[in-house]
Amino acid sequence: MRDYEPYYTEDGSIGLYSHADKDVFHSKFGALTEAWEKFVIPSKIDELLKYKQEVNVLDICYGIGYNTKALMSFVINQNKNKILKKNIFQKIKILVSICVNKLLRKNDELLSHNDAIQDDNIKSLINIDCLDINEELVKLSPFFKTVKTPAEIYSDIVPEILDCFETYYKVKDIFVDVASNFLPQNKRDIKALLELRFKNMHIDKEYKVNGLVNYIIINRLSEYFGREYIDENIKNIIKEKWTSQFFAKSLIKYAKFNQFWGYNLSSMSILSTFLHNIYYHHLSIRNKNIDFKAAERLFNMHFYINDARKSILKLNREYDCIFLDAFTYTKAPQLWSVEFVAELVKRLNTSGVILTYSNSAQIRNTFLENNLYVGKIYNEKTKTFVGTIASNDKSKIEYPLDNFEIGLCNTKAGIPYHDPNLSFDNKDIIDLREYEFKNSNLMSSSKYMKLRSEKGDTESEE
């Protein structure tokens, strides 16, 4: 039985609230915006694509996939010239070019027509390993509507006759009092939803998820789970009333089609008809000229559904980017321990980066304990620091920690979690830190900040 409650964040994307942890999975200010600004953009993936044929990415706590979806969208946008549909003349040119190149290299190596067209200089540029323990959420991840604008939320709630600025403010309070009595649980904060219309009427264009991405993810999940993808539990969930608001029906239909027919086993006539109705009927005009199979070949995706501490030990890649997007460290301490981060460092290439949303002294000190260079993620739009970056390569740290922040890491606030042998449960990890905290000779963070205040040095240097 699901433990989460979907809700709309301020950029129109869907966030989740955990009843068990009494906390949110995503920032209320924008789940999708957070993925772009705290992970994809600071990863400098565009620079990596310029000089690397393949880029390896590890997404820890995949959840409903915002970080991966944003990354895939960025890569598709960067490769649009390569994945546009080819006309017959372009295909002939590609066929001739590839055959000539092959003949020059090896006379006995000829390509079939299909192989030549499929080669097309498109290779898997991004290898993405996705770790999560919640199988249900991973299965549902591509079905969630990526973005619903505040204007759409507003129009769903407020009758069209009230859809004007002046009238809205006159009748809002009355409407809220009446309507809130009939709203389902996930709309109980109607006043906040109504205000979205005036807080943020649009999401930045570049932050949208490409329409092809969820179809690609469905294909990979279908391969991973096989006939167990759309199981009875998932069938029951997609029948619930709340799914009509948060799930895209076309994506569910496509997943069911994969389940019944098998993507690779379908006859070309059936598949072509289905793709025409699903891919292109529901995608925006800008995506209709994209070759879906070419876009799909940009990615290798692998899912690991287990405790991330166990999954990480199975991985043998060297990663260019690691997205550490685990639940808040007070709720999921096992994924923020010195020992777990040490496993990440073992799999980080010499110039790779670890990115996280956390700004805490404790997490930053965890990186320092692993001998990483540590800095801050800077958001150019808001002119604020929004997360932490760590790397073996000092040149990757554009905004290093200042003296105040380093000092804070060396107080009791910076005492990290420890998880010997990656086997402790959450309570044991937290209890161990509390014991170290109580018996530490380090200065308290409050005393440290008071001393810095007396010296007139409480602000972090930018």
Contacts of 260 (CB under 8 A, 6+ apart): none
pLDDT at 19: 72
pLDDT of residue 177: 62
How confident is the prediction for the chain on average, in pLDDT? 79
Q: DSSP alpha helices (H): ranges in 106-189?
A: 113-119, 135-140, 150-157, 165-179
Q: Which of 120-124, 229-233, 250-254, 348-352 has the lowest mean pLDDT?
A: 120-124
57 has which bridge partners?
128, 321
Calpha distance 373→368 (Å, rounded): 7
pTM of the model: 0.78
pLDDT of residue 369: 97
Q: Return the closest-CA partner of residue 15 out of 62, 59, 64.
A: 64
Element spanning 301, H or E? strand 299-305
Nearest 10 degrees: Cα torsion 278, 282, 286, 288: 20
pLDDT given at position 280: 46
- Predicted local distance difference test score (pLDDT) of residue 122: 54
At residue 448, does pLDDT exceed 50? Answer: yes
- What pLDDT, on the 0 to 100 scale, is given for residue 444? 94
Given this model, what pLDDT does residue 107 score?
44
Model confidence at 160, in pLDDT bands (50, 70, 90)?
A: very low
Q: What is the DSSP letter of 160?
A: G
CB 213 within 8 A of CB 73: yes
> What's the CA gap between 414 and 402, in Å, rounded?
15
Question: Distances from the Cα of 278 to the Cαs of 192, 221, 292, in angstroms?
Answer: 34, 18, 12
Distance from the first to the final alpha carbon of the chain = 46
| pLDDT tens digits, 304-362 | 999 999 999 999 999 999 999 998 888 899 999 999 999 999 999 999 999 999 999 99
Parallel, antiparallel, or unpaired: how do β-strands 126-132 and 55-60 relate? Answer: parallel
Burial call 418-438: b when 16+ CB within 10 Å, e when fewer? bbeebebeeeebbebbeeeee
The whole-number average pLDDT for the span 368-380 is 96
